[in-house]
Amino acid sequence: MAQEASQTPLYSIAVASELAGLTPATLRLYEEKGLVAPTRTEGGTRRYSDADIARAREVSKLQAEGVNLGSAGRVLALQQENTALREQLDQHEKARHAASVAEASSPDGSAAGD
């Protein structure tokens, strides 16, 4: 299972741009388009989390594949929705399996060698 990137805002725009391999102007553009949402300090300084940086990298990757910025946001939203649905399905399947095992091992279960 993939580890989720931290949501803790740690990095200034200069450090975040270096970590993401993007220019500060590109990060500001991604923010303007709603593709990343860094936290702001009381003074208004942007602070990027590991999750923000990972998302910026993903947007950049999509752009390199020919996806425009407007569509990149939709692609990322659909990927996130797909991940959530897969997690729900996995939970449902685990619960169904556990119920099946419990029924089979119960003294009055029909699968117990009638």
Convert the pLDDT of each residue in 15-40 to its tens digit. 999 999 999 999 999 999 999 999 99
Alpha helices in 1-44 (DSSP H): 13-20, 24-32
Confidence (pLDDT) at 45? 95
CA–CA separation, 11 and 47 (whole Å) = 5
Q: Which CATH architecture has domain 13-104?
A: Orthogonal Bundle (1.10)
Indicate the domain borders of the chain: 13-104
Convert the pLDDT of each residue in 80-109 to its tens digit. 999 999 999 999 999 999 888 888 887 765
CA–CA separation, 73 and 96 (whole Å) = 35
Crossing angle of helices 13-20 and 24-32, in 10° steps, is 100
List of residues 6+ apart from 46 with CB closer than 8 A: 12, 13, 16, 27, 31, 38, 39, 40
